[in-house]
C-alpha cells in the first residue's frame, strides 16, 4: 500500500511537471484546466495524508509559507558579467575585429545572435537536478538570494529531466537568464494596481525586479513572472558551444527564447540584428537590443574578459523608440542640494509599454537651447534607460501664442529668491531651511543605498517634516522619543510605527562608508564615499585632512575634495555629526586584518597601460592587500607601477627616487602576496 501511494504521488508529480512545461514554457496546454486542478487536488490530498512523502520539488511546494526577512548575500561562483554596448554597424564590425585579433590565426569564428531581454537577471543553481538556490546579479560578484520567490515561477522547473542532458552529468551547474513579464501581463497588473490605488510600475523590467524583492512568496506567486534562460555554466563540465547550450537548456525543460540564430560571419550577424529589430514590436515581451556571442566556448575562454565584461560578447542596442505628445506645463522641482530642475508635464502617452506623463528638462539652459515652450508638441524618446528624454520639438506645430519660457525668480517650495552661480547651469535655492531641500536630504539619507531605513520613504518624510518632527538627520534617531505622538498621527498605527522605529535602530549598524554617502556631501556618491572611508577610516581624520590629502586619493578629484572641505567647514553640519555620533551612528571603520605582505601600508601610483588588468582592477587588488593607491607622485609614494608608454609620472618618480615596478614585477608580487 505505502509503495503504491509513493508511486502514485511520483506519477502525479511527473504529470503536473509535464503539463506545467506545456502550459508555461511551450504555451501549448494539452489538458483542460479542470483536469489539471483535479491532479493538483489529488496530490495535495495524498500529501496531506502522508506528510512524510512531501519533497521540496513537489509542484505543491512552489509557494512557501515563510516571509523572507532579509535577502541573504550570495557570492557567485563565477561572476555575473555585464555586456559592453554597441550602437552601430561600425561598432559591431570593430567587435568582430577585436575577436579575430584575440584568437590565433586561421580560427573559424561563428556567432550566436540572441534577443536582449529587458528584465532582471537571475542565476539558478541546480544540484542533482533539483533547484537549490536562485540569486540576483547584484554587483556581479555578490547577489541576493531570492530562491523562495523564484520557486513560484512556473516556467522554472524545480526538478529537471536529466535524461535529456546531452550526456553531460550536470551534477552541479548554474543556469542564468532573465526574469521578465509579458507586456500584456504587465499592463493588466498596472490596471489592477490603479484600481486599488497602488503605485504603478514604470515598465515591465521594474515590475519584475520589484516583484522579486517582495518578502511574501504568496504575493510573488500571484504576479505573472516568466523566465528565459540563455547561459549555462559548470566548473565540472566542458561545454562546446553557445548554440548547443541553448538547445541543452531547452531540452532540460527551461524556457529558451526561440529567436536566436547561428551566424557564420559578421555580415550574417548584422543581418540577424536587423531582423530582430524589425521583429521587436511584434514580440510579446520587451527586448532592447541583440546580444552577440562568440559561439565556441573554447574560443570564449581564450578571449576571456576585461573588467566586468566578456571580450567574447557584446550587446547591440536598438534605436530608441520615439513618440509625440503635448507639453502642458513646466514645474520647477527643488532637489536636496537646492538645485532647481525643470520638469515637463505632458499629456500622457504610451512609450515602450509605459505611460509617460512627466520628463525632466534637466536645466534652464536646455530649455533655452531647444527653445521649449508650454503648448509645444515634443518628441519623447526612450533609450535603454527607464527615464524618457525630450529630444526636440515639432516647430511646425508651434503657435504664436506659445510664449518663450522664462526662468523662475523664486523657489517654488519656500519662495526664497533663486541664485545662479556663474560657472553652473543650475539655479539654486540657497535657503538651507527650504522644506523641499530638507525633505530631499532626509529621503536621500534614509534611502536604500544610504542608511537603508525601511519604511521611511517620501510620504512619511513629508508628513514628519510638516509636523516639525524632522528637520536634520539626527532628528530621525530621536523619533523614538515621540512614539505616542507618532502613533496619534492619523493613519499610522502602533505596529507600523514600531516597525519604523526598529528599522531606524537597525540602520545604526550601517558601515561608515554608507553613513558618509548618506550625509549628502555634494559630489560624494556611493563610490567616492567608499574610497574616502577606506582611506581615512574615521570621520575625524577626514575632517582634519587637507584638500590635497583628499584629492591625492586614486580617482578622487578636486571638485570632491573642495566640496568635502566646504561641507565640514559649516558649523551646522559638524553639529549634526556630533549628535549622530552620540546616537551611535558609525563614524569609523575597522581596517580589515590583512596579513603581512609587500603591499601592506604602502602607497602606490599607477601609470601607463597595463596589459593584464584595468587600472581599477589593479587598484582594487592593491587595496585588498592593505595598500593605498593615489593619483599623483610625491615623496610619500612608495612605488610607481609603470605600464606601457608611461610618461611624465615615470620621469617624476625617477627624479624623486621612487621605486618603479614593471607590470610583470607587479604581477609577481601580487601572486606572492596572495599566497
Where along the sequence are the contacts to ligand IVH (CB under 6 A)? 81-83, 114, 116-117, 121, 137, 178, 230-231, 291, 310, 313, 315
**In the complex, minimum distance from the CB of residue 305 to ligand IVH, in angstroms, rounded to a whole number:** 8
Q: In the complex, what is the shortest distance from the CB of residue 383 to ligand IVH, in angstroms, rounded to a whole number?
A: 14
Query: Whose Cβ is closer to ligand IVH: residue 116's or residue 382's?
Result: 116
Q: How far is the CB of 313 from ligand IVH (least distance, A)?
A: 5
What are the distances in angstroms from CA 637 to CA 529, 615, 629? 23, 17, 9
Nearest in space to 147 (alpha carbons), one of 162, 159, 135, 129: 135
b/e sequence 391-401, b meaning 16+ C-beta within 10 Å = ebbeeeeeeee
Buried b (16+ CB within 10 A) or exposed e, 570-595: eeebeebbebbeeeebbbebeeeeee
Q: What DSSP character marks residue 164?
A: G
The rounded distance, in Å, linking the Cα atoms of 543 and 540 is 5
Q: Which residue's entry shows cell 531605513?
A: 453
Distance CA 576, CA 131 (A): 49
Radius of gyration of the chain measured on its C-alpha atoms: 29
Closest distance of CB 23 from ligand IVH, Å: 24
Query: What is the spatial distance between Cα 63 and Cα 111, in angstroms, rounded to a whole number?
Result: 39
- The answer for residues whose C-beta is within 8 angstroms of residue 90's C-beta and 6 or more apart is none
Q: Residue 292 or 438: which CB sits closer to ligand IVH?
A: 292
116 is catalytic: yes
Rounded Cα distance, 509 and 618, in Å: 30
Minimum distance, C-beta of residue 312 to ligand IVH, in the bound complex (Å): 8
Closest approach of Cβ 81 to ligand IVH, in Å?
4
Q: Least distance in Å: CB of 180 to ligand IVH? A: 9
In angstroms, what CA-CA distances link 164 with 248, 273, 417, 429?
8, 31, 72, 66
CB of 288 to ligand IVH, least distance (A): 8
Cα–Cα distance measured from residue 318 to residue 288, given in angstroms and rounded to the nearest whole number: 6
Q: Which of 41, 72, 116, 595 is catalytic?
A: 116
What is the DSSP secondary structure assignment for residue 507, as one 8-state letter?
G
Q: Residue 136's beta-bridge partner residues?
A: 122
**Pairs from 507-512 (Cβ < 8 Å, separation ≥ 24):** 507/446, 507/451, 507/452, 507/453, 508/477, 508/583, 508/584, 508/585, 508/586, 509/586, 510/450, 510/451, 510/452, 510/585, 510/586, 511/586, 511/589, 512/537, 512/538, 512/539, 512/586, 512/587, 512/588, 512/589
Closest residue to ligand IVH: CB criterion: 121
The three-state secondary structure class of 142 is strand
- In the bound state with ligand IVH, the residue whose beta carbon lies nearer, of 82 and 631, is 82
Nearer to ligand IVH, 9 or 269 (CB): 269
Q: Which is nearer to ligand IVH, 162 or 183 (CB)?
A: 183
Q: Which residues are catalytic?
A: 116
Amino acid at each position: 500500500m505505502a509503495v503504491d501511494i509513493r508511486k502514485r504521488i511520483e506519477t502525479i508529480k511527473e504529470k503536473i511537471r509535464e503539463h506545467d512545461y506545456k502550459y508555461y514554457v511551450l504555451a501549448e496546454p494539452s489538458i483542460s484546466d479542470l483536469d489539471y486542478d483535479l491532479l493538483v487536488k489529488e496530490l495535495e490530498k495524498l500529501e496531506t495524508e502522508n506528510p512524510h512523502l512531501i519533497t521540496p520539488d513537489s509542484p505543491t511546494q512552489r509557494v512557501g509559507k515563510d516571509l523572507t526577512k532579509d535577502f541573504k548575500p550570495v557570492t557567485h561562483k563565477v561572476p555575473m558579467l555585464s555586456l559592453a554596448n554597441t550602437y552601430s554597424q561600425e561598432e559591431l564590425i570593430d567587435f568582430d575585429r577585436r575577436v579575430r585579433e584575440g584568437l590565433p590565426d586561421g580560427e573559424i569564428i561563428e556567432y550566436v545572435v540572441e534577443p536582449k531581454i529587458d528584465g532582471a537577471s537571475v542565476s539558478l543553481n541546480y544540484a542533482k537536478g533539483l533547484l537549490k538556490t536562485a540569486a540576483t546579479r547584484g554587483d556581479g560578484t555578490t547577489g541576493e538570494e531570492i530562491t523562495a520567490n523564484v520557486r513560484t515561477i512556473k516556467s522554472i522547473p524545480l526538478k529537471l529531466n536529466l535524461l535529456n542532458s546531452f550526456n553531460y552529468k550536470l551534477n552541479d551547474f548554474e543556469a542564468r537568464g532573465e526574469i521578465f513579464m509579458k507586456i500584456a501581463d504587465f499592463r493588466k497588473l498596472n490596471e489592477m494596481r490603479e484600481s486599488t490605488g497602488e503605485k504603478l510600475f514604470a515598465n515591465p523590467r521594474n515590475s519584475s525586479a520589484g516583484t522579486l524583492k517582495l518578502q511574501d512568496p504568496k504575493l510573488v506567486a500571484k504576479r505573472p513572472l516568466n523566465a528565459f534562460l540563455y547561459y549555462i555554466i559548470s566548473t565540472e563540465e566542458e561545454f562546446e558551444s553557445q548554440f548547443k547550450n541553448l538547445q541543452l537548456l531547452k531540452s532540460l525543460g527551461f524556457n529558451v527564447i526561440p529567436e536566436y540564430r547561428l551566424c557564420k560571419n559578421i555580415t550574417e550577424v548584422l543581418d540577424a540584428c536587423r531582423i530582430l529589430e524589425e521583429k521587436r514590436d511584434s514580440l510579446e515581451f520587451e527586448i532592447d537590443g541583440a546580444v552577440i556571442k562568440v559561439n565556441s566556448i573554447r574560443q570564449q575562454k581564450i578571449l576571456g574578459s576585461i573588467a566586468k565584461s566578456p571580450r567574447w560578447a557584446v550587446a547591440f542596442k536598438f534605436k530608441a523608440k520615439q513618440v509625440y505628445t503635448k507639453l502642458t506645463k513646466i514645474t520647477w522641482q527643488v532637489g536636496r542640494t537646492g538645485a532647481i530642475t525643470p520638469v515637463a508635464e505632458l499629456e500622457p502617452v504610451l512609450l515602450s509599454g509605459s505611460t509617460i506623463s512627466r520628463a525632466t528638462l534637466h536645466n534652464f539652459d536646455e530649455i533655452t537651447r531647444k527653445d521649449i515652450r508650454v503648448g509645444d508638441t515634443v518628441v519623447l524618446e526612450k533609450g535603454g534607460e527607464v527615464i524618457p528624454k525630450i529630444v526636440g520639438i515639432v516647430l511646425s506645430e508651434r503657435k504664436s501664442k506659445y510664449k518663450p519660457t522664462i526662468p523662475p525668480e523664486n523657489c517654488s517650495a519656500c519662495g526664497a529668491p533663486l541664485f545662479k552661480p556663474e560657472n553652473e547651469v543650475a539655479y539654486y535655492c540657497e535657503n538651507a531651511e527650504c522644506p523641499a531641500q530638507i525633505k530631499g536630504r532626509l529621503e536621500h539619507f534614509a534611502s536604500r543605498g544610504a542608511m537603508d531605513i525601511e519604511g521611511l520613504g517620501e510620504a512619511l518624510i513629508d508628513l514628519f517634516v510638516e509636523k516639525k518632527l524632522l528637520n536634520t538627520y539626527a532628528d530621525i534617531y530621536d523619533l523614538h522619543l515621540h512614539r505616542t505622538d507618532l502613533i496619534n498621527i492619523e493613519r499610522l498605527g502602533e505596529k507600523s510605527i514600531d516597525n519604523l522605529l526598529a528599522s531606524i535602530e537597525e540602520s545604526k549598524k550601517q558601515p561608515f562608508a554608507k553613513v558618509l554617502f548618506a550625509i549628502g556631501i555634494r559630489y560624494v556618491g556611493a563610490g567616492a564615499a567608499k574610497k574616502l572611508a577606506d582611506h581615512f577610516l574615521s570621520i575625524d581624520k577626514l575632517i582634519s585632512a587637507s584638500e590635497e590629502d583628499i584629492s591625492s586619493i586614486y580617482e578622487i578629484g578636486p571638485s570632491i575634495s573642495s566640496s568635502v572641505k566646504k561641507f565640514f567647514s559649516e558649523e551646522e553640519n559638524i553639529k549634526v555629526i556630533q549628535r549622530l555620533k552620540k546616537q551611535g551612528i558609525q563614524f569609523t571603520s575597522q581596517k580589515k586584518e590583512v596579513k603581512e605582505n609587500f603591499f601592506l601600508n604602502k602607497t602606490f601610483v599607477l601609470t601607463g597601460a597595463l596589459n593584464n588588468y584595468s587600472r581599477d582592477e589593479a587598484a582594487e587588488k592593491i587595496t585588498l592587500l592593505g595598500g593605498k593607491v593615489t593619483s599623483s607622485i610625491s615623496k610619500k609614494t612608495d612605488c610607481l607601477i609603470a605600464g606601457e608608454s608611461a610618461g611624465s609620472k615615470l620621469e617624476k618618480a625617477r627624479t624623486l627616487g621612487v621605486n618603479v615596478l614593471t607590470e610583470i614585477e607587479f604581477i609577481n608580487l601580487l601572486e606572492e602576496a596572495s599566497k
